[in-house]
Structure 1
Amino acid sequence: MLKPLYGLDRRGLLRVAAAGVVGASLPRLSATAAEPPQAKPIGFGKAKSVLIVMLSGGPSQLDMLDPKPEGPTEVRGEFAPIATTIPGVTVCEHLPILAKQTDRWAIVRTLAHREHNHLLATHVALTGRPTPVPRGGSDLDRVETRNDFPNFAAALDFIRPRGDGLPSGVSLPNYFIEGPLTWPGQHAGFLGAKHDPWQINGDPNEKDFRIQALSMRDGITTDRLQSRRQLLDNLNRGRNSLAGPETDSLRDQQDLAYGLLTSGKLTQAFEINRESDETRDRYGRNKFGQSLLLSKRMIEAGVPVVQAAMGIVQTWDTHVDNWGRLKNTLLPQLDQGLAALTDDLTASGLLDDTLLIVMGEFGRTPKISTLPGQTIPGRDHWAHAYSGLFAGAGIRGGQVLGQTDAQAAYPVTNSWSPADICSTIFNALGVDSDAALMDPLDRPHHLLNGSVISNLYTGASA
């Protein structure tokens, strides 16, 4: 079922709750003094959309994109390397299709940051920033709050609001929740629920998959909905005495609900059954493959930021049975799904203006370990060096950026942080480098808070 978080559902239609916003003042764009025009960074405005394939839990760099076959036994793992289309570059043997398509991809082997906890690392990965306030030692102190920094889709929605009935961001097919823990970095944070990305919680591989929140109940036609909308507008105009931030937020969400319900373009994009059996088979008849197919349809519909999650929260958290889980499920599905996705985006020309990123919140430890009480070994959390894939929107494929040491533990060349990924995303979307948000405490936050990864476009060695 699709619904925006803290907001609309099928029964609610145009009846929504106002969003709470931290602090007494509303967030706003900062005003900056006029400056002489400067040359835009390379890659500026190359992307109309961004698709982030989030491998939640932290995929192993050693067992995927940065193998170390000459490393010691306690490091190298069970998989053999295979050659790619890039001379001298290898990847894991269980990524055979990717190995033949590395001309499309830039492999970055030296992503790095300081957070080794899933929750804090997810906030860093999806916002480009550490959590804004110190968090306690318990995971319960690190959960999602309205103090968090807005994620990419939410920030874009705030600085570049849409009026065409399409959301600025869609996340699918899961929200990262583990028991009582809701991982931060997934919504609009201090901007308020109005700017939250739309969330799809469901399996597109199921036969009865249907986005009910974008379906009007039997007997509710577009004309009838428009009539109800007019009545609601009349009621709202009669409540001028209630004007204020909360009332404005309520009306904004009503406008969003109405736009989505009457947007035939978005409704059709969710109808994955329109795809042929052959196409669906190419992506893989599993939740991950069909989620990538649905993501492609979101891109085709014009959604600027789409996030697709591989499995549920911590799917890639391979403390136990690292090699069995990778070999039997995770890598084959990733390999097949990415191949079909890039094939289709290339054939349609959409890869030219779609920035495609595949990453986790961190990587895995070089040293193999076995948890107490377990017999099948795995790897633990590691944020000092991990790998990602980048393609499309002017990025030069067929290259590797960054080099790690003999154990894939630390970078020995230049490294890039989530802040740099954040800046690369907004730069690709054509957001000016001086764009900033003011939080409820009137503090400025520049959206491009790192350095654009220019090597992705130039092919220069790191």
Structure 2
Amino acid sequence: MLPKYVSDRRGFLRIGAAGVVGCSLPNLPATAAEGKQLAGKGRAKSVLLVMLSGGPSQLDMWDPKPNAPEEVRGEFSATSTAIPGVAICEHMPKLAQQAQRWAMVRTLAHKEHNHLLATHVALTGRPTPVPRGGSDLDRVESRSDFPNFASALDFIKPPTDGIPTAVSLPNYFIEGPLTWPGQHAGFLGAKHDPWQINGNPNNAAFRMQALAMREGVTRDRLQTRRQLLDTFNRSDVRSNGPVSAFHDQQQAAFDLLTSGNVVDAFEMAKETDETRERYGRNQFGQSLLLAKRLIEAGVPVVQAAMGIVQTWDTHTDNWGKLKNRLLPQLDQGLAALMDDLEASGRLEETMVVVMGEFGRTPKVSTLPGQTIPGRDHWAHAYSGLFAGAGIAGGQVIGQTDHQAAYPVTRCWSPADVLTTMLSGLGVDQDVAIYDPLQRPHHLLNGNVIAPLYTGTSA
């Protein structure tokens, strides 16, 4: 039986806080509704998730501890920001100047310290099921998984204008035999998978071949072909599951090809050299520029990653990798993106979220056989950036201990982050989806991060 969803509060069993992974919730509102119906609901037309796969270090980026012992604070110094009394890493000067645009949440937390499991948590808000007798290290993507948040959005609000609900770029999170779970629609089926781009927008030859029509085939001619195909498809054969799924894919392809906005968004050569240089002539900078173009084309959810999977997994040479490549590219690309979104007025309707699946250990360590130290995985406390669509910038939400190891104020889970995104996109608090066993799942299974909108810490 196919999955379904309902939006009537009497139509499903409330799941409560079961989806809020690894985070105690002091000072909860009196009712779930009070925690979710906030000023940010429906303020966003688009969400851009900048996913820093691998786990960026909170200590060496957003939550420095300059007074901690050397084996904790690391090699970097802190620099002041446009927010009085707030410092971040010295190697992000542009973002320090732009701090008034951002809300920094320093108390994100959950329980999974494994990349694959933590990525599923970050992109679905649910713990990753591990088969009995299996190892969490072997747990990869499966169609039995809970859907990616963008896939769930596509399921409850299917597009009608030929524009895909979600685009992910510049690559799928996959390494050798391992495919990171949480990236696709899971039990909702392939029809609702985010549209995946695998390519480097910085390459001169970058072009979406899948969206290019053959020479001599105009959009009008394609519409005629579509009408002819629809005539053949009006038969009982569509009741066949695989055939029906193929027909759905045909329709989606036609919609994309006949909708010029998305096709044109991939024409990176239309951007001036000056603009492309501002973002950085590297894969990440140009991925952010492409993400902006997709948002301008009307795509509701865009996920932009920095490099390949685990790019931020700095077990070895943590400070060299950050200083020489990762932080300069992040600083330049994000600053250019925010400048353009604000100048165009789109920041008022675009929520931007920057985070990884977890952070890094407070204590510096050196792997066996290595000589250059780094930091290991750490999900007990990490940081994220939020901006746009009604979010009050120029603030820090949450406080960690003297090592940035554990929150000393309220923490926020991935379920809270995704609930904030979906609520911002207008998803109602009572929406639930049913899995193939007809079990209901509350889609907004966390709490909106209220201080993002109120400007008061929690």
What TM-score comes out, normalization by structure 2 length?
Answer: 0.92
Q: 2:184 aligns with which of 170, 184, 187?
A: 187
Q: 2:295 aligns with which of 255, 278, 299?
A: 299
Distance, in Å, in 1 between the alignment partners of 2:238 and 2:325 is 55
- Structural mapping, 1:124-163, within 5 Å: 124-134=121-131, 137-138=134-135, 141-163=138-160
The aligned counterpart of 2:15 is none
2:365 paired with 1:389: no
Structure 2: which amino acid aligns with 1:29?
Answer: Y
Note the C-alpha offset of 1:137.
Answer: 4.9
The aligned counterpart of 1:84 is 81
The aligned counterpart of 2:233 is 236
Q: Write out per-residue CA displacement over residues 8-47 of structure 1, whole angstroms, 9 at most, x where no aligned residue.
A: xxxxxxxxxxxxxxxxx10111363569xx7732311010
- Structural mapping, 1:345-384, within 5 Å: 345-384=341-380
Q: Write out per-residue CA displacement over residues 123-173 of structure 1, whole angstroms, 9 at most, x where no aligned residue.
A: 010111112454755456310010111112111110001111100000000
Contact 1:111 1:417 in 2 (8 A): yes
Q: 1:282 aligns with which of 274, 278, 281?
A: 278
2:60 paired with 1:60: no
- Structural mapping, 1:38-437, within 5 Å: 40-134=37-131, 137-138=134-135, 141-237=138-234, 239-437=235-433
Distance, in Å, in 1 between the alignment partners of 2:178 and 2:195 is 20
Which segments of 5 or more consecutive residues in structure 2 lack a partner in the other structure? 12-32
Distance, in Å, in 2 between the alignment partners of 1:49 and 1:422 is 13
Q: Write out per-residue CA displacement over residues 247-269 of structure 1, whole angstroms, 9 at most, x where no aligned residue.
A: 33222211101101111111111
1:381–1:443 CA distance, 2 compared to 1 (3 A): same
Note the C-alpha offset of 1:73.
Answer: 1.7
Q: Secondary structure at the match of 1:255?
A: helix
1:350–1:94 CA distance, 2 compared to 1 (3 A): same
Contact 2:171 2:198 in 1 (8 A): yes
Structure 2: which amino acid aligns with 1:421?
Answer: V
Contact 2:130 2:139 in 1 (8 A): no
- Equivalenced residue count is 435
Contact 1:135 1:141 in 2 (8 A): no
State which drifts further: 129-138 or 186-195.
Answer: 129-138
The aligned counterpart of 1:28 is 4
1:332–1:241 CA distance, 2 compared to 1 (3 A): closer
The aligned counterpart of 2:26 is none
Note the C-alpha offset of 1:381.
Answer: 0.3
Distance, in Å, in 2 between the alignment partners of 1:246 and 1:373 is 51
Q: Secondary structure at the match of 2:232?
A: helix
Note the C-alpha offset of 1:422.
Answer: 1.1
Structure 2: which amino acid aligns with 1:120?
Answer: L
1:384–1:344 CA distance, 2 compared to 1 (3 A): same
Distance, in Å, in 2 between the alignment partners of 1:272 and 1:98 is 25
Q: Secondary structure at the match of 1:162?
A: coil
Q: Write out per-residue CA displacement over residues 258-307 of structure 1, whole angstroms, 9 at most, x where no aligned residue.
A: 10111111111111111111110100000000000000001101100000
Distance, in Å, in 1 between the alignment partners of 2:127 and 2:315 is 24
What RMSD in Å do the two structures reach over aligned CA positions? 1.5
Distance, in Å, in 2 between the alignment partners of 1:422 and 1:31 is 18
Contact 1:288 1:309 in 2 (8 A): yes
Structure 2: which amino acid aligns with 1:366?
Answer: P
1:207–1:242 CA distance, 2 compared to 1 (3 A): closer
Distance, in Å, in 1 between the alignment partners of 2:78 and 2:134 is 39
Structure 1: which amino acid aligns with 2:372?
Answer: I
Contact 1:50 1:305 in 2 (8 A): yes
Distance, in Å, in 2 between the alignment partners of 1:34 and 1:365 is 44
2:449 paired with 1:453: yes
1:33–1:104 CA distance, 2 compared to 1 (3 A): closer
The aligned counterpart of 1:14 is none
Structure 1: which amino acid aligns with 2:61?
Answer: M
Contact 2:116 2:139 in 1 (8 A): yes
Distance, in Å, in 2 between the alignment partners of 1:333 and 1:214 is 29
Q: Write out per-residue CA displacement over residues 395-434 of structure 1, whole angstroms, 9 at most, x where no aligned residue.
A: 0011000000010000000100000001101110111000
Amino-acid identity (%):
73
Which segments of 5 or more consecutive residues in structure 1 lack a partner in the other structure? 1-24
Q: Secondary structure at the match of 1:445?
A: strand
Contact 2:53 2:356 in 1 (8 A): yes
